[in-house]
Amino acid sequence: MDFAYAPAVEELRKRLTAFMEARVLPADAAFLKEAHAGRFPLEILEPLKARAKAEGLWNLFIPGLKPDEPGTRLTNLEYAPLAEIMGRVFWSSEVFNCSAPDTGNMEILHLFATPPQRGQWLNPLMRGEIRSCIGITEPDAASSDPTTLQTTITRDGDRCVINGRKWFTSGALHPNAKFCIVMGLSDQRPEADPHARHSMVIVPLDTPGVRIIRNLPIMQHYSPEGHCEVVYDNVSVPAANILGEEGNGFALAQARLGPGRIHHCMRSIGQCEAALELMCARASDRKAFGRNLAEYSNVQDWIAESRMEIDQARLYVLRAAWMMDLHGNKSARTEVSAIKVTVSRMQTRILDRAIQVFGAKGLTNDTPLAFLWTWGRALRFIDGPDEVHNRVVARAELRKHRRPA
């Protein structure tokens, strides 16, 4: 077993780190100032994107690209340490065209889009010209169980009519957002197979009847690109916008969520590393009762536990990525569920310790810690709550120990 990254990945890590230090970090304060004022600073982002693309730091996340598709063609295992570096600055993934929810959408469009869908939606996404969102979660349905989704997709000749209400549609207010992949009930017969009743359809956001009602703040943070409540009121799109086969929404959701979940975990490890660095720096500088905080054994315990937890989680994530590369996304389903729970819980624990070391300052926006804590907390819901993932892990474990009757 070799724990070293491949030489080509080391080379990319160096280039990406240099790019982050030379170009992204110097733009961070200006980006945050605009974001806190509720504006999305395209004027900061677009030149950085052009530069990253020119340097080949582009679409790093997507394995199996076709020859005419722009990107770096890395495996999940190779991508993991790069996503970790991007994760350190929460907005930076977009600079490299590696941000959610586009990455997941590109994955499923890449797998299932028809040639016209590729031309209209996938290709501009891969070039970074537009952005996209995914609308699964609904206020009136327990969306961790998508069989309960109520939004309807009704065929009307060669059109589909969508009616319903979604929320937490991330990115719907991004100035470049052009479409949402909406999941809804396309077979409204109650007796139909509950896992074959839903479809996904591409809905351009400027279609009449699509209304963004509000941008939901996540605890205290408010993102200018939005986690939005969106109403679909008799929204009519061509039936050719259905993604994959009608009725296969569940299969598409699974194909989409595997890679999306592991990417969140990779970025989260980078955020925990950044928090640990800040915690150590503060503990080494700050004096209370005549000693540096770093000299108190409880602070040393927090630092040691954080180091050990990050290293364990990173290995766990790398193993899941390796399994996806080796045997396909489906085969790593249990591991992906396990790392999703492990990493999101770790993030709030480590951020909580770092905040404690900083004193009250840790709760303000003078450090990224409070924001990163809320992000860790949100990750316990994003792409499925902990309990649903625990259930996947427990069922796999129980299957191993099932005895013949």
- Rg value, the chain, Cα: 22
For residues 72 and 186, which CB has a smaller minimum distance to ligand FAD in the complex?
A: 186
State the minimum distance, in angstroms, from the CB of residue 302 to ligand FAD: 26
Distance CA 185, CA 280 (A): 51
- In a 13 Å sphere around the CA of 393, the CA atoms on its Cβ side amount to 13
If the CB atoms of residues 81 and 368 are measured against ligand FAD, the closer one turns out to be 368
Beta strand 227-238 pairing with 159-170: antiparallel
- For ligand FAD, the closer CB: 72 or 248: 248
Contact 71, 2 (CB under 8 A): no
Between 218 and 237, CB nearer to ligand FAD: 218
Query: Contact with ligand FAD (CB under 6 A): which of 169, 248, 271, 337?
Result: 169
Instruction: Tell me the two tokens of residue 215.
Output: 């941008």
Q: Helices 333-358 and 249-285, interaxial angle, to 10°?
A: 30
Closest CA to 373 of 346, 342, 352: 352
Locate 293 and state its tokens.
Answer: 């905080």
Element (H, E) at 233: strand 227-238
For position 170 contacting ligand FAD by CB under 6 A, the verdict is yes
381 part of the interface to ligand FAD, by CB under 6 A = yes
If one counts every other C-beta atom within 10 angstroms of the C-beta of residue 207, the result is 15
Asked if 136 interacts with ligand FAD (CB under 6 A), we say yes
Nearer to ligand FAD by Cβ, of 257 and 294: the residue is 257
The one segment of 90-98, 115-123, 142-150, 347-355 that binds ligand FAD by CB under 6 A: 142-150
- State the nearest-atom distance from the C-beta of 126 to ligand FAD, in Å: 19
CB of 177 to ligand FAD, least distance (A): 11
For residues 199 to 238, the per-residue mask of contacts with ligand FAD, x marking binding by CB under 6 A and - elsewhere, is: -------------------x--------x-----------
Q: Which of 168, 250, 358, 373 binds ligand FAD (CB under 6 A)?
A: 168
Q: How far is the CB of 216 from ligand FAD (least distance, A)?
A: 8
- From first CA to last CA, the distance across the chain in angstroms is 39
> Which region, judged by CB under 6 A, interacts with ligand FAD, from 119-127, 248-256, 376-384, 392-400?
376-384
- Smallest gap from Cβ 169 to ligand FAD, in A, equals 5
Beta strands in 149-220 (DSSP E): 152-156, 159-170, 177-185, 198-204, 210-215
What is the number of H-type helices and E-type strands within the chain?
12, 10
Q: Which of 343, 384, 389, 392 binds ligand FAD (CB under 6 A)?
A: 384
By C-beta, is 76 or 170 nearer to ligand FAD? 170
Token representation of residue 280: 């150590």
Question: Residue 161 corresponds to which tokens in the numbers above?
Answer: 């009519």
Chain positions 89 to 128 lying near ligand FAD, rule: CB under 6 A, are: 101
Give the nearer residue to ligand FAD in terms of CB position, either 128 or 384. 384
**Contact yes or no for 81/270 (Cβ under 8 A):** no
* Residues at the site binding ligand FAD, with contacts judged by CB under 6 A: 101, 133-137, 142-144, 168-170, 218, 227, 378, 381-385, 387-388, 391
